[in-house]
Structure formats: structure tokens, C-alpha cells
Structure 1
């Protein structure tokens, strides 16, 4: 975690951790929660969640999943651990950089990320790491907001990106589909969920 951009991201999310759930409460209830539930219903076995944050996904994992969640921010992890305790869930939560995973190859049946590739300084590096720790036949599933193909929406995203990046540490104009392909992953599904084509779900595998 010596990289400057990575350290800046960690510090931003440490500062933001106590406000994070409240800031997103409205959109979480009306949009994100149903998408999380549907997305996570697809996973089984041993699952790695990168960027577990405050643990918003924890209530939606199917029973029997062996979950490992990682996050760069210790303050976010504190809240995830508290949420897991409230829910009575047995999960492993670790402070770790998604760009440098400390797991051996072929460890997990699924790798999951929700609204996380927007904040990782080098998303392609993180995606390659995610592919490395995936078992043969496993799947990577990402729920993300991405750069729109609609020119006016894309312009709005480009104009606002410096603000969201500096204040909250995330980018609103990431070409996530392009990054998945750059990482050498095979894109099986690219589903549009909402806001024209901004909110998307990707399902990938390793060649």
C-alpha cells in the first residue's frame, strides 16, 4: 500500500467511513439494495468480495457461502465487522489492497465487487489479481456505475469526475467494460440496470 494514489484512497475512505451509509441511504434503499440482492443470489461456495466497505452486501449472500471480504480502509472494515456481528454472520474480513491480493492462485469460486472498480487506482491490475485467485470455471461478478455511451451523460460524468474523485475518492467516468477486457477477462454478460446505461452488471471468467 505504498503507492501514493492507493494511500490517498485509503485516507479518503477512512475519513468518509462514518458518513458513508447515511450519504447513500436514499439511493441504497431504492436502487442499490435490490440490485445487490439479485446479483449476490448468483454466488456459491468460497467467495471473495473486494472492496467490502461497510458491509452493505452482507445481508444478501445466500446461506452456506464461505465469504472473505477485503477492504483498503480499516475504518470501513470496522463498520463491516459491526454489521456482520449485528446480523450474526460468520465472515472473514481483512484489510487488504485489491491490487495486491495475498491469496494463492485458484482460491475462490466467485469474486464479487459492487461499486468498487470506480475507486481502485489501478482497476486493471486489481482485475488481473481477481482473475488470478479465481478457480477454474469460477466467475467474477461486478455491479458498477460506468462511463455512459450517451454523449451528454458522458460529458456530465467527465465534468463532475474531478469533484467526486477529490471529495469521495471515486470516479464516475471509468470505462469498466474496457478495463475488464484489458485485464484479459472474457465478458459473458454486460447487463444495463438503470440511468440509461450508467449502472451495469458484468459477469466474467478467465480464459
Structure 2
């Protein structure tokens, strides 16, 4: 891993013990419902990028063959305990989303939830997703992005350096633009909360 990625990885390792507690208010609102709804879009062999502490594990049906990756070993430890407790068969692998070890065209579906705020080089990570997802495979993302509303966007820009230094996540990423730059062109976007949290569905045309 490069220096920048290592810094972010260490921040997630540091917060792994309290991560679920920190996100509990969001999960109690709408995020858990959005997760369950998005998982309905997945099929076949699934890759979850940035599996974290395993927040999505309980929602995966048995008919999906799921592999989850994360670059934080401490987060993965929690995900493994969660999978065992829930009796869910899911492969959990320590891996950097920017440099995946999978062959080209391995997965039918790829899933992310609140991940591309923290991938150090998001375009590189998105290109890797495009590579490992099969032609015409489906990529489903729930991501928070920089608002297009001037006042909110300005506030996000002001506070972003503090959030990045503290947690390792960016609150002002232009993720839709990054997706297009990574080479995707069949993109559907739905606003889930204001214009900040979005559900993104991509058909992987190659």
C-alpha cells in the first residue's frame, strides 16, 4: 500500500471497535432499509467492496455467493465474528480495493455502501471494480457525495479536511463524476436523502 492508503487504513483500524456505535444513528434512520433494498438488485457471484464491520452481512440471502474485501484488518475481524454469529457463509478477504487480486470478469455483481468516500484514489478503485465485474454485470452503490447546493457544498468543503484527518472519509467527493471518469457510461442515479446520499446502479458495458 502507498503511504496515503496506509494512513487511511490505520484510521479505520483505530475506530473499528466503536465504528458500529458511531454509525448507529444513521442505521436506525433509513440506511439499513436502503441496504436491504439495494441487495435485492444483486445476483450470482457478488463482490462487496469495503465490507467493513459487516453491516450488510445479515441481509444477504442464501442464494448469493458473496465475497467481501476490506483493507482494515480490525474491521474484518468484526465482520468475521458477525458472519459466524449469523451463521452466514461469506468469504472475507484482506484486500485493497485499489489493487484487487481477482481475475478480470470474476463477479456478476459488485456492491458498495458508503465506501468511495474513503478510497484514497477513488478512480483507481472504480476502474478495478470495472475490471473484475463481468461484462453487463451490475454494480450497485449507496454513496454520499458532495451536494450541488451552493451553501451545503461550501460547508462540506470547509469541514472536509477535519473529517478526513479524524475519520479518513471525505464528505465532498464528486462520486458520479469519478464513476464517469473511470469509464462507466450506463449509470442510473436515485437520490435517497437530499442530493447527498444516492443509490447508483451501473451496468458494466465493456
Q: Give the TM-score normalised by the residue count of structure 1.
A: 0.97
Q: Note the 1:73-152 alignment, pairs <5 A.
A: 73-152=72-151
SS in 2 for 1:116: coil
Instruction: State whether residues 181 and 187 of structure 1, in contact with CA within 8 Å, keep that contact through their aligned partners in structure 2.
Output: no
Q: Distance in 1 between matches of 2:105 and 2:181?
A: 20
Regions of 4+ moved over 2 Å: none
C-alpha separation in 1, matches of 2:171 and 2:70: 20
Specify the alignment match of 1:198 in structure 2: 196
| Rounded Cα–Cα distance in structure 1 between residues aligned with 2:130 and 2:147 | 25
| Aligned position for 2:177 | 178
Deviation, structure 1 residue 113? 0.6
- Structure 2: any 5+ residue segments left out of the alignment? none
Equivalent residue, structure 2, for 1:188: 187
Gapped regions of structure 1 (runs ≥ 5): none
- Counterpart residue number, 2:30: 31
Give TM-score scaled by structure 2 length: 0.98
Could you say what the CA RMSD is over the residues aligned between the two structures, in angstroms?
0.8
Report the number of matched residues.
205
Q: For 2:152 and 2:39, how far apart are their aligned partners in 1?
A: 28
Q: Which moved more, 1:111-120 or 1:60-69?
A: 60-69
In structure 1, the residue matched to 2:155 is: 156
